[in-house]
Amino acid sequence: MPETTITPAAPQLTIKDFQSDQDIRWCPGCGDYSILAQIQRVFPEFPHRKENYVAVSGIGCSSRFPYYMDIYGLHGIHGRAPAIASGVKMVNPELDVWVATGDGDGLSIGGNHMIHMLRRNINIKVILFNNQIYGLTKGQFSPTSVLGQLTKSTPMGVIDYPFVPVSLALGAGATLVARTIDRDPKHLQEMVRRAEYHKGAAFIEIYQNCNVFNDGAFELFTEKNSKDDHVVYLEHGKPLVFGKEKEKGVRLHGFTAEVVNIKDGTYSVNDLLVHNENDSTLAFILANMIHNPALPRPMGVFLSVDRPTYEFQMQDQIARARSKRGPGDLQALLNGEETWAIE
């Protein structure tokens, strides 16, 4: 049975339709402002009525997001946004459900909820604000803080190995996994579009600068004098080329990525790795590039695959059960035998 979504004609919306009357209370200069602005710019493009949008969050700076979007929203408790959003989507599959979370909220106390939401492939869009620090609670280390990072709770340096959010999402079974950054508005907008039009669990990691407790954490990937040499953009069907003059590329040596020069004649574009966003093995290789500082940081869609969504399968199963047995009888079930046959 094919999965279909019928969306009634929606009135033309504008950015103002998604701007709430709440004062935005992030610190001046915070990367969250850019993330909010790009989402508000892109949402009017989507074919939904305004009342069909829902934003769900947990606790943290990122979790103020529902207050600033003039749509239905729910500010949940710490780490529980994926669980709440799952319930919303499964009983109201016509809604466009977004989870706003952070590296602490989504990967620490909420990590268990996150992985199970992703593995079930519920058609929910996750935007994970990753600033590698706990911002709201004033600068403790988070699950993505890097080794040696000095924080309020690690004055001698972090000794935990950090999560790689992209790798975690791939391992959990998300069917769209992407990475972008707060200071690249056009790319951020495009990743939001990709998540919206994907049928299934979409996970976008967004590098977000915390200018109070972890300022400059991603400056290699944002500053004019370093960005070109440290970022490679993933485009389906295109080779991985980067550098100020597009003189560098990424090739595979076995299963290991390495940087080569394509201007000195040793290698050519034909020797480079060509991105295939439908290849899960390649997605893991690209995600693991983060462990080698000599490699550029991939930005874009790592993986995009099709798989039936959980809410569709659930509703289909209920419909098939009713067609075979008619309306359920709870009392008969409670009073019945202790065993039953599963067809």
What CATH number has the domain bearing residue 191? 3.40.50.970
In a domain, 46, yes or no: yes
In a domain, 222, yes or no: no
Q: Count structural domains, the chain.
A: 2
Structure tokens at 316: 């289909």
Confidence of residue 192 (pLDDT cuts 50, 70, 90): very high
Cα–Cα separations (whole angstroms), residue 174 to 82, 165, 177, 195, 324: 13, 11, 6, 11, 33
In a domain, 242, yes or no: yes
Do the Cβ atoms of 249 and 264 come closer than 8 Å?
no
Claim to verify: residue 313 and residue 191 sit in the same structural domain? yes
CA distance 126 to 49: 20
Claim to verify: residue 117 and residue 262 sit in the same structural domain? no
Claim to verify: residue 140 and residue 18 sit in the same structural domain? yes
Claim to verify: residue 36 and residue 115 sit in the same structural domain? yes
CA distance 22 to 332: 51
Say what the pTM is.
0.92
Closest to 52 in 3D by CA, of 76, 74, 67, 72: 72
Claim to verify: residue 256 and residue 144 sit in the same structural domain? no
Report pLDDT for 321: 80
What is the signed CA dihedral for 161, 163, 167, 168, rounded to 10 degrees?
A: 130
Do the Cβ atoms of 203 and 257 come closer than 8 Å?
no
In a domain, 236, yes or no: yes
CA distance 318 to 47: 28
CA angle 105, 108, 114 (to 5 degrees): 75
Residue type at 268 in one-letter notation? S
Structure tokens at 174: 């998300």
Claim to verify: residue 35 and residue 84 sit in the same structural domain? yes
Q: Position of tokens 């924080």?
A: 151
CA distance 249 to 258: 8
pLDDT digits (tens, 9 = 90+) for 148-176: 999 999 999 999 999 999 999 999 999 99
Claim to verify: residue 68 and residue 201 sit in the same structural domain? yes
User: For residue 15, how many other CB atoms are within 10 A of its CB?
Assistant: 13
In a domain, 328, yes or no: yes
Claim to verify: residue 288 and residue 320 sit in the same structural domain? no
Its domain, for residue 206, covers: 1-217+309-343
Q: What is the mean pLDDT of residues 107-131?
A: 97
pLDDT digits (tens, 9 = 90+) for 38-77: 999 999 999 999 999 999 999 999 999 999 999 999 999 9
Closest to 236 in 3D by CA, of 199, 203, 201, 190: 190
Asked whether the predicted pLDDT for residue 337 surpasses 80, the reply is no
Handedness of CA 160, 164, 169, 171 (dihedral sign): negative
Structure tokens at 223: 């500053």
